[in-house]
Amino acid sequence: MDTILRFVIWIAFGLVIGLIARAILPGKQNIGTIPTIIVGAIGALLGGSIAFYLLKLDVSSPFTIASIISSILGAIIVLVLYCLITRKNWK
């Protein structure tokens, strides 16, 4: 049961981070809920990796300020790349 709960929390965290990234990025992005979760999850992984390996920040818990900020910045990067690759221009 513990593994299922962690998976659900991870998906919820990805959704929240993806929604925050979409809200910060100017304009409207035409993507649905599943791509938002994926963007948030990949962005959190990217941002956390950059914060940990390059900036030497402690991002071991997803609920620290460093983890949240790095996850959001990573999700913004992934969202911009997603829109450029799929040619879904935001308005």
Residue 75 in contact with residue 43, Cβ under 8 Å? yes
DSSP 7-48: HHHHHHHHHHHHHHHHHHSSS-----HHHHHHHHHHHHHHHH
pTM of the model: 0.81
Cα–Cα distances (Å) from 83 to 30, 59, 86, in that order, read 9, 27, 5
* pLDDT band (50, 70, 90) for residue 91: low
For the chain, first and last CA: distance in Å? 43
Mean pLDDT value of segment 40-46:
88
Distance in angstroms (rounded) separating the CA atoms of residues 58 and 31: 32
